[in-house]
Amino acid sequence: MDSTIENPSNERADRGLRGVTILGSTGSIGLSALDVLARNPARYRVLALTAHTQVDRLFEQCRQYRPQKAVLLDARAAAELKDRVQRAGLPVEVLSGAEGLNTVATHPRAHIVVAAIVGAAGLLPSLAAVRAGKRVLLANKEPLVMSGKIFIDEARASGAELLPVDSEHNAIFQCMPAGYRAGSAPTGVRRIYLTCSGGPFRTLSPEALVSVTPEQACAHPNWVMGRKISVDSATLMNKGLEMIEACWLFGVMPDQIEIVIHPQSVIHSMVEYVDGSVLAQLGNPDMRTPIAHALAWPERIESGVKSLDLFDLARLDFERPDAGRFPCLRLAQEATRAGGTAPAILNAANEVAVQAFLERRIGFTEIPRVIEHTLGGMPANPDAELGAVLGDDARARDVANRFIAGRESRVGMGAT
């Protein structure tokens, strides 16, 4: 039974407002989404906020945004939040665990679900929102990489609206023909140019890459993001994941996607049509633009992003990526060609490797080695149904963790 503490006056005031659940509200995307919502109080009502373990941040968000529900995955953290919420007299119901995430992702009053959890952990709650027929704002790209076909098929069956928030995919979506829906193959499209900043190490030599630190990897030149995606941007795995994401979202083949290094991050991607037209979406690098677009589509709302100063833009550069220095791109392409659960294996190995790098257990250039070893060390299942995806995700984590542990013990014994 739904035991939400209702405030009748609020409920009356909420009529006509679109209820929004943010899965991962304490993260970088979550904060940007809350900022856009706060600028548009006449349209949206924050229904539910969720996080992993961050009690302090979620409590502050409960105070500021007064959601009906707040979820912490961690049960102990949830108990602490519940206590603080009660002592502060806030009418917020606190839930926990996967069940809590599922409840708020599928709640009848949640018209819009912002999928902003990082990594494979977002798969089940995002999929639940899709199955419940919500408008789902997809920032969390890893679930699409793991099981894109399932998302597209389920959205078609439920009538859910999938709106890409990843800046490149949102740009591509904006360049698609009027009335286009994610997942269908667009007519007249020849090619997609997926732009890439090149990350913080774009010009670094292969020798220098060996000794970069997590702090350097997380200092992105144009975007402020969570730590995992920052490292993915530095290895270019982010672009590999985004290529797979684009194949599912836009019904294209990998060879129709051209990755272009564009260091200024002003053009967020482009679509080339068979008549030679190339459409691009431009703007300052600020995730509030794609979030606002996806919230209001097909209308437009204020996002707080300042105007692009064209006269201030000295130049726009374009280069081909260097797959030699950034092997993660090649690994993502190979996993896409292999198909089935190979992209899920790639993603799981990458999550494990990035975490180990952030914990200083492996070096930056070992990230692709962990992924290559994992992809080579287990067969992919050709049928990427949900059970196979989740099973291979778990197995790949195990293979990758054992490889890292083996390296650590060899290093510990004096080997290099």
Name the residue nearer to Mg ion (CB basis): 289 or 381: 289
Which burial class, exposed, middle or buried, applies to 415 when counting CB atoms under 10 A from its CB (0-12, 13-18, 19+)?
exposed
Would you say 357 or 373 has its CB closer to ligand NAD? 357
Which does residue 293 touch among ligand NAD, Mg ion, none (CB within 5 to 8 A, set by kind)?
none
Point out which span in 139-147, 187-195, 307-315, 382-390 binds ligand NAD (CB under 6 A): 139-147
Q: Does 283 bind ligand NAD (CB under 6 A)?
A: no
Burial of 160-191, coded b for 16+ CB within 10 Å and e otherwise, reads bbbbbbbbbbbbbbbbbeeebebbeebeebeb
Q: Which of 18, 21, 30, 34 binds ligand NAD (CB under 6 A)?
A: 30
Q: Using the minimum distance from each CB to Mg ion, give the nearer residue, 117 or 128.
A: 117
CB 188, min distance to ligand NAD, A: 27
CB of 352 to Mg ion, least distance (A): 21
Report the partner that residue 237 touches, choosing among ligand NAD, Mg ion, none (CB closer than 5 to 8 A by kind): none
Which residue among 27, 186, 327, 340 contacts ligand NAD (CB under 6 A)? Answer: 27
CB of 124 to Mg ion, least distance (A): 23
Which of 28, 174, 233, 333 lies at the binding interface for ligand NAD (CB under 6 A)?
A: 28
Q: Which of 212, 213, 238 is nearest to 225 (CA)?
A: 238
Task: Residue 85: name its binding partner from ligand NAD, Mg ion, none (Cβ under 5 to 8 Å by kind).
Answer: none
166 binds Mg ion (CB under 5 A): yes
In the complex, minimum distance from the CB of residue 29 to Mg ion, in angstroms, rounded to a whole number = 11
CA distances from 10 to 20, 48, 93 (A): 15, 15, 15
Say which residue the tokens 């991607």 belong to: 269
Strands 112-115 and 135-138: parallel
Shorter beta-carbon distance to ligand NAD: residue 28 or 374: 28
Q: How far apart, in Å, are the Cα atoms of 53 and each of 27, 77, 86?
A: 11, 6, 18
Least Cβ distance, residue 71 to ligand NAD (angstroms): 8
**Looking at beta carbons only, is 23 or 152 nearer to ligand NAD?**
23
Burial 255-278 (b: 16+ CB within 10 A, else e): eebebbbbbbbbbbbbbbbeeeee
Residues 165-224 that bind ligand NAD (CB under 6 A): 166, 223
Residue nearest to ligand NAD (CB): 27
Which DSSP string corresponds to 94-133?
A: EEEHHHHHHHHHH-TT--EEEE---SGGGHHHHHHHHHTT
Q: Kindly identify the residues of this chain, within the stretch 66-85, that bind ligand NAD according to CB under 6 A.
A: 73
Within 13 Å of residue 130, how many CA atoms lie on the same side as its CB? 26
Residue 199: name its binding partner from ligand NAD, Mg ion, none (Cβ under 5 to 8 Å by kind). none
| CB contact set of 145 (below 8 Å; sequence gap of 6+) | 241, 244, 245, 343, 344, 346, 347
Q: Which helix (H) or strand (E) holds 222?
A: none
Binding site for Mg ion (CB under 5 A): 166-168
Binding site for ligand NAD (CB under 6 A): 24-30, 51-52, 54, 73, 116-118, 121, 139-142, 166, 223, 225-226, 228-229, 287
